[in-house]
Amino acid sequence: MGLIKLLPDILASQVAAGEVVERPASVVKELVENSIDAGARRITVEFQRGGAGLIRVTDDGCGMDRSDALLCLERHATSKIRESADLAAISTLGFRGEALPSIASVSRFRLSTRRREDDGGTLIEVTGGKIHEVRDSGESPGTRIEVADLFFNVPARRKFLRGEQTEASNLLQQIEILAVSHPEIAFTCLRDQREVFRLAATEDLAIRLRDLYGEAFLRKLTPVSPQESQGVKVHGWIARPGEGRSDRTLQMTFVNGRMIKSPILSLPLREACDGVLAKGLHPPAVLFFEMDPSAVDCNVHPAKREVRFRDPGVIRSVALQAARSAWENAGPAAGFSPKAGSDPLFPPIAGTVWKPAVLSTQNELPVQSVESDRSARVAESPGSTAHSMSAFGIQSSVQAARFLGQLAGRYLLFEELESLMVLEIRAARERILYERFLKRLGTGELESQHLLLPEILEMSPADLAWIDAHRSILHAAGLVAESFGQGTVKVDSVPADASSLPVMEILVRLMDELRTLGDSPTLDPAGREALAASVSRLAASGAKLPAGEEAAMMLLKELLSCDLPYATPKGRPTLTQLSPGELQRRFTA
């Protein structure tokens, strides 16, 4: 060809760019997927200033000759659909021939590429959609694409970009997804010229997960051995029973090799956890679903993140089955690691069926000692407080209360003016700590406990970027941490009230909680409330049970001296009461 020409309809490309390219992370996705399609064995992703400054993807794939290199910058030029029949059978990752022209229309774009069999390569430079340079270049085989100053010519879109740290974190997250779905490809990532990770190619997904997320994360997972039902196959890894996180960034579900977020895939995983994982938590998982391409429509979402399944029922049952069989195979011994509070609300017990433990109508009150066997406890769902008891209108006074005992390691029972009062220990602590933390945050940081030996923890690249971006809010929560090189973070101090929990757990849970506050949580009044609520939930889960009558009375007293004693910041009841009338009604035939 050798013809320099203007890209057709630049404007149309820019419009399309709005759909395909929302942010640096989506550019990386499109470029890396192209490299994967090109058969690359090694892919290097470099980026600067969160990707808004520069993204450079280099691969050792098949490369392009000059005419193809020029052609690929035209809209709807794709080497991936030969006939319309191919549309239904998408075997490659991309197929719309829109990504490169779209990206080139909104950036300073440079493509250099060379096929292995050719003597020389081609370099093409495009600025805002106009090709202004095509020449020979002496590249090594493969393709390198540079995208500089993304959206430089579309200020409205550039304004939409978040802070550098947020974009970097999203971008790293995207590379993680691609690296997880292709362990057979070596990945290297450099951020602002510093190496973030270098992943060796491997046939073993477990090794890729370990290299990316660390040994500790891998130990939390159990394999899902390949299985198939009605044409839908699945394999991968899923968290052991009871392991959960409140955000879903570590839940990766792939359909025919492409990461897909869909409730049809994620809800069954959560459903499988009912009874072993508190509400609001999700099991980390990396699951690969394979099905006939015609059973899934990928063209629903321009960036191909959503799909429509022909038969969602089958998908659901396969996903459920995957989780359950993995846990059966995990065996009871390995199945549940009794690590304190891996669930923020209740200690999860694998396999227990929920029964209301308290005040069930037929039984007497099974009052147990503090040391009651963990396994005898019943995991109860947060909303299940016996509904016949009202949390409102309690006229409690500490003076009139008499301590009766503890129940199920979770409740304190008091008699008060012929009523039975039940205090939920963890909820009560949450309320007490919340009010204390809120006052304290008004004047400074939460108390922190300095660790004698700082802990070095392995974290994912995206998490590390997040931690560095949010050091000050973590600090306000009492946690002092900074990245320490080679995929690790160094933790020097933890919130004093949570210091009995494992450091990794404090960090991960705090991070999950803070992430729900949005991209850049601040310490305005609303931010302080949210932070106090998060840390109080964390700290309450790590606190020891009150031992003995004096401690029990003290807890009641502290609770009743709160401004709003009867519920946690999230509205969970802390104290409830069964009146003489209510008791009598229950004993009337």
Which positions lie near ligand ADP, rule CB under 6 A? 30, 34-35, 38, 59, 61-64, 72, 77-80, 94-100, 143
Contact 97, 78 (CB under 8 A): yes
Of the candidate spans 99-107, 233-241, 354-362, 364-372, the one that interacts with Mg ion by CB under 5 A turns out to be: 99-107
Instruction: Return the one option of Mg ion, ligand ADP, none that residue 505 interacts with (CB less than 5 to 8 A, by type).
Output: none
Decide whether 81 or 408 has the Cβ nearer to Mg ion: 81
Contact 202, 179 (CB under 8 A): no
CB atoms within 10 A of CB 432: 22
The correct pick among 10, 45, 69, 99 for binding Mg ion (CB under 5 A) is: 99
Decide whether 75 or 528 has the Cβ nearer to Mg ion: 75
Residue 328: which of 250, 225, 232, 254 has the closest Cα? Answer: 225
Contact 378, 408 (CB under 8 A): yes
Q: Residue 393 region, left (φ>0) first, then alpha (ψ -120 to 50), else beta?
A: left
Of the candidate spans 90-98, 246-254, 320-328, 555-563, the one that interacts with Mg ion by CB under 5 A turns out to be: 90-98
The correct pick among 61, 63, 94, 101 for binding Mg ion (CB under 5 A) is: 94
CB 144, min distance to ligand ADP, A: 8
Is residue 143 involved in binding Mg ion (CB under 5 A)? no
Cα distances from 499 to residues 144, 397, 400, in angstroms, run 48, 32, 34
Cα gap 528→376, rounded to integer Å:
38
Q: How far apart are the first and last CA of the chain?
A: 94
Residue 197: which of 51, 46, 50 has the closest Cα? Answer: 46
CB 299, min distance to Mg ion, A: 14
Dihedral angle at the C-alpha atoms of 373, 375, 378, 382, nearest 10 degrees?
A: 100
Decide whether 82 or 194 has the Cβ nearer to ligand ADP: 82
Decide whether 95 or 237 has the Cβ nearer to Mg ion: 95
Instruction: Return the one option of Mg ion, ligand ADP, none that residue 79 interacts with (CB less than 5 to 8 A, by type).
Output: ligand ADP
Greatest distance between any 2 Cα atoms in the chain: 96
Contact 391, 544 (CB under 8 A): no
Is residue 31 involved in binding Mg ion (CB under 5 A)? no
Burial class (CB in 10 A: 0-12, 13-18, 19+), 286: buried
Instruction: Return the one option of Mg ion, ligand ADP, none that residue 148 interacts with (CB less than 5 to 8 A, by type).
Output: none
Is residue 34 involved in binding Mg ion (CB under 5 A)? yes
Instruction: Return the one option of Mg ion, ligand ADP, none that residue 100 interacts with (CB less than 5 to 8 A, by type).
Output: ligand ADP
Contact 33, 93 (CB under 8 A): yes
Decide whether 79 or 202 has the Cβ nearer to Mg ion: 79
CB 93, min distance to ligand ADP, A: 7
CB 95, min distance to Mg ion, A: 8
Q: Binding mask 41-80 vs Mg ion (x if CB under 5 A, - otherwise)?
A: ----------------------------------------
Full DSSP string of 17-28: HHHH-SSHHHHH
Size of site (CB under 5 A) for Mg ion = 3
Q: Enumerate helices (H) and strands (E) in the chain, giving the number of each.
A: 18, 22
When CB distances to Mg ion are compared, the closest residue is: 94
Decide whether 16 or 273 has the Cβ nearer to ligand ADP: 16
Decide whether 36 or 491 has the Cβ nearer to Mg ion: 36
Contact 144, 54 (CB under 8 A): no
CB 313, min distance to Mg ion, A: 32
The residue ranges that bind Mg ion (CB under 5 A) are 34, 94, 99
